[in-house]
Structure formats: C-alpha cells, structure tokens
Amino acid sequence: MKKELKLLIIGLIIIAVYIVLSNINTTKAANNRPEFNYVIHGVNREDSGYTDSENTRELTTIYKYAGYSVAPNSWTSLCNKINYERRKAGVPEVKLDKGLMEAMKTRAIESIVRWNHVRPNGEMCFSVNKNLDAEEMGWGLGTEEIFNRLMEIPESKKNILNPEYKSLGVGIVYNPNGGGLFYIFGFGKNEPEEFELGEELPYQYDDYEVSACLDELDYITSRKSNSIKVGNKTNISEVCDIGIKQEIGNPWGTSVTIPSAKWEIEDKSIASIDENGDITGLKVGETKVYTMLGSKKYECPLIVYKKSHFNDIGADTWYFDSVEYCYNNGLIMGTSDTTFSPNNNLTRANLVTILWRMEGSPKSQEGQKFSDVKSQEYYYDAVNWAGSKGIVNGYEDGKFRPNNNITREQLATILMNYARFKGKDTSSRADLSKFKDQNGISSYAKESISWAVAKKVMSGKVNGTMTDPRGTAIRAEAAAMIQNYCNYVGR
C-alpha cells in the first residue's frame, strides 16, 4: 500500500512538472509571434484584387487631429533601413516621393482611429493615392523595433524587397493615447517626385479631419461613466463617445469626439446639455442622450442620481438637500469624514459656529465674553464674536453653556438676532394659532418663531401642526433651517 501511494505521488509530480514546462514553452512561443497590436502584415494592390471605385457609403467627420509628426530624420532613417535590406537582396533602392508622403501622412492619422489597412471610410488603403501599391503598418517606440518586426512577416518582407517599387512614402505620428508612435509606409511603382524634407510637409497637422463610414461606427464606453450626480456637470465625452468598432480594427478602443454631432437629452427635466456638450444633472431619473449623424441615430443611457458625501445620509431622506447644501457651503461639517449623524443633538456652540462660518469666520475684537468659554476650544472665536454682536446672550450667571443642546425656539431666536445684525427686515409675522402647541412657546421666543414661520425658516412638525418649541433641535433640523434662512432671508 505504501509503495503504491509513493508511485502515485511521483506520478502526480511528473504531471505537474510537465504542465509547468508546457506553459513556459507556450508562453515563449506566444512572445515570439508578432502581435496584432504592434504590426499588421503588409498588403499590396495586386494580391488584394483592389480596383478603384466611387465610395457610395454614408460618411461623417469623426475625428480632428491637431498634433505633430516626428522629425524628418525618422523618415530618412526608415528609408535607409529599407534600402539597406534592398541592397543586400540585390534590388534597386527606393526614394521618398512627395505624393506618397502626403498619402502616408493621411494614413498615419487615420490609423489612430482604425488600426487596419481598411480606412475609416470603409475603403482599402489604396484609395488614398493612385500610386500606392503596397502598405505596411507598425506601432512601437522606435524605427528599428518596428522594422525588424515587419521583416519577420513574409507578406511584409515581400513588399519591402519588391524590385518593381521605386517610390516610398512614410507617415509617423505620436499616439495621442500615450506611448509609442504610429508608423505607416507605402510603396509605389511610379517614378518618385523628390522634394526638400521639412519644407513641403510641415511637422504640425492642424485640425486634420478623419471621415468614417456610419455603418462602422459604434460607442466606445469601456472607460466612460453613463451616470452623473444631481447638480454636477460633465462633458458628453465622459458619458458617450463614438468611434470605429473595436472588432474591425481598433484594438486600443480609441475615443473620438464627433465634431459634427449635436447631442440632445431625451427628457430635459432630468438633465440639460449645452452647445459645448456639457451635461448638468437636474433631478434623479433615467433618460438618454442622442445624436443624429446623417440618417442614423446614436443614443446611450444617462442616469442622474443623488449621493451624499456621508454614508448615513440617504438620497430619499427629507434632509438630504439641506445637509448637502450646508456641507458644500462649508457651514456644517460631518462628525467624521464619512458620517453626518443627522439625529444627533445640536449644541449652542455648534449653532454659533455655523453662523460664524456664514460670516466668513471673523476674528473677534472683544476679549473673553463668557466665563465658561475657554480660548483652547474650537468655538472660542465664534462665541465671543456672536456675543459681541448681540446675536447670543449668556445666562444670568455669566455663562454661555456651549455644550447644552439647543432647542428649536432658541435656534429661531438666534437666527432672528443674526438677521437683525445683518440688517435684514425682520418685521414679518405669521399667525401661530394653527399650531396646537402655541401656548408652549416661551414668551421671549414668540416673536422669533412667528418670524421664522413667516419667512419659511421654520416649518411645523407632525404634518405642520406643532412647532415643538422646547424640543431639542437635531443636526438634520438645523441644516434645514440654515438652508431655509439662506434661501428665504439671504446670507
């Protein structure tokens, strides 16, 4: 039994070693193969069976390239490498041709949106110039790397060493998505039209347009988000871009913004979009953004949502907007980086600090106003400032009692005092008889609560039937009253 177990273990070890070695060899073989992302085997006019014909496809401008080619020494370096191999093979050298250089410049830019010998407009590469008879494509960090890869591919080597070719065109542009260069070069049988490098062909390509066949356009959304927060703004390019379909020759998923696309929002109450393509979320909901290009309609979903800065503030809570308003305006901070604690009580020091922030956090010119407000406390400047401006009063014993929870009637009173300090009209009054607990309002606070109700700073509780004057104000209620003050009275 022990001998059989030993043999079994040895057998399993042998199998495991075989699998590991097989994977290593497979990986090496894969790494030795030319990769699609780097080079594409060459094509020539004769083998492809291409014939010139009129393009009847529906086209649109999908891309504008404004960038730089590389210096002429890169063109001549590639030409020298080609001619070195041609001399070794005993075939005539090729020369740079003005017409093919222009054509390859076009093809280099087109390769940004479609990495294929088929152009974005759906035609074969040969349609770019009547003298183009063969084309090669490579992407990488340098001329030598790309050229050596191409020479390993039989179709490409055949083109590079074809004795019938006399002319050469080279197009090289920087990859706008980062990393490497796009190299495209083509051969022709025509007699080359020579030119001075750097004079006839400028290095900078301003607003170079690429047109594409509508049938081959699709959304490129792999790096996009189709959602936006209420009140936030984002550009259409962050929601939905259109580009050449990846499966037909765009391995990078290059995003392009269609210059001619005029985007619309299906439900304009949920979001808006301006002439620059900037989308603003208006309210929670789902809609679509769409555009018409020729006879085709392209649309993609858009979700507008609410999400608080705080984990404990739900989008469906009555105080959501108030908490967000106060936080975004620097008036009420969270109890931590992720929590607001809406049901925690508000203290007298908390409220005075909020008003002090509304005023721009001024430095009080007065000394210590209250005996229990110490200079090391976070609310020291706020309480002394509010006391010096008559916004708050202490108790008869000269204390402020900063950590006492504040009641709703105290909150209304302090807000009315702040409004007076700001020079606001505080003459408005509301009829309090509709509130069942009006007799429970302290005498000193009746005017303040009447004013606060009239100015919509305070609303009733229990379906508007109670003011709850002596109830403790929680942080959510304070946020609502502060927002109402700012909206209806003014900061």
Residues 6 or more apart whose CB falls under 8 angstroms from that of 391 comprise 352, 355, 414, 417, 418, 421
pLDDT at 207: 64
Of the two residues 55 and 295, the one the predictor is more confident about is 295
Residue 213 vs residue 390, higher pLDDT: 390
Q: Among 43-57, 159-173, 204-218, which is the least confidently predicted range? A: 204-218
> Ranked by mean pLDDT, which of 84-93, 116-125, 391-400, 437-446 comes out on top?
84-93
Of 179 and 374, the structure prediction assigns the larger pLDDT to: 374
Residue-wise pLDDT tens digits, 391-432: 998 888 989 999 999 999 999 999 999 999 999 999 999 999
146 vs 51 pLDDT, higher one: 146
Model confidence at 134, pLDDT cuts 50, 70, 90, reads very high
Higher-confidence residue of 17 and 32: namely 17
What pLDDT was estimated at residue 62?
64
H-helix or E-strand spanning residue 288 = strand 285-293
**Confidence band, pLDDT 50/70/90 cuts, at residue 25:** very low
Q: Higher-confidence residue: 8 or 227?
A: 227
Average pLDDT, rounded, for the chain? 81
Of 108, 82, 109, 105, nearest to 94 by C-alpha is 82
Residue 449, pLDDT score: 93
Could you tell me whether strands 233-235 and 95-96 are parallel, antiparallel, or unpaired per DSSP bridges?
A: unpaired
**What pLDDT is recorded for position 21?**
41
The answer to whether residues 79 and 172 touch, using CB atoms and an 8 Å cutoff, is: no
The whole-angstrom distance between residue 56's C-alpha and the CA centroid of its chain comes to 37
Look up residue 25 and give its two tokens.
């060899």
Q: Is the pLDDT of residue 10 over 60?
A: no
| Cα–Cα nearest to 39, from 176, 180, 188, 147 | 147
What is residue 236's predicted lDDT score, i.e. its pLDDT? Answer: 82
Q: Looking at residues 171-180, what average pLDDT do you find?
A: 72
Q: Determine contact, residues 186/136, Cβ cutoff 8 Å.
A: yes
Contact partners, residue 427, CB within 8 Å, separation at least 6: none
- Closest by CA to 306, choosing from 288, 324, 289, 332, is 324
Percent of the chain residues topping a pLDDT of 90: 42
Whether 121 has a pLDDT exceeding 80, the answer reads: yes
pLDDT tens figures, 344-386: 999 999 999 999 999 999 887 777 788 899 988 999 999 999 9
pLDDT at 132: 96
Q: How confident is the model at residue 490 (pLDDT cuts 50, 70, 90)?
A: confident
Integer-rounded Cα radius of gyration of the chain: 37
Residue 255, pLDDT score: 47
Q: Which helix (H) or strand (E) holds 29?
A: helix 2-32
Q: Is the pTM higher than 0.75? A: no
Tokens of 262: 């005029």
User: pLDDT tens digit string along 210-235?
Assistant: 777 777 666 544 445 678 888 888 88
User: Tokens 């890169």 belong to which residue?
Assistant: 74
Mean pLDDT within 320-344: 91
Once rounded to an integer, what is the mean pLDDT over residues 114-132? Answer: 89
Per DSSP bridges, beta strands 296-305 and 227-229 are parallel
Whose CA is closest to 131, among 73, 88, 66, 193? 193
Structure confidence at residue 253 (pLDDT): 44
CA distance 76 to 83: 10
pLDDT of residue 56 exceeding 60: yes
Burial level of 277, CB count in 10 A (0-12/13-18/19+)? middle
d(CA 18, CA 12): 10
28 φ/ψ angles, rounded to the nearest 5 degrees: -60, -45
Confidence of residue 8 (pLDDT cuts 50, 70, 90): low
Q: Which pair of structure tokens corresponds to residue 379?
A: 């609310």
Q: Could you tell me where the beta strands, DSSP code E, fall in 342-421?
A: none
Burial-class residue 295 by CB neighbours within 10 Å (0-12, 13-18, 19+). Answer: exposed
Q: Which of 8-22, 55-69, 473-487 has the lowest mean pLDDT?
A: 8-22
8 A C-beta contact, residue 341 and residue 335: yes
d(CA 83, CA 97): 14
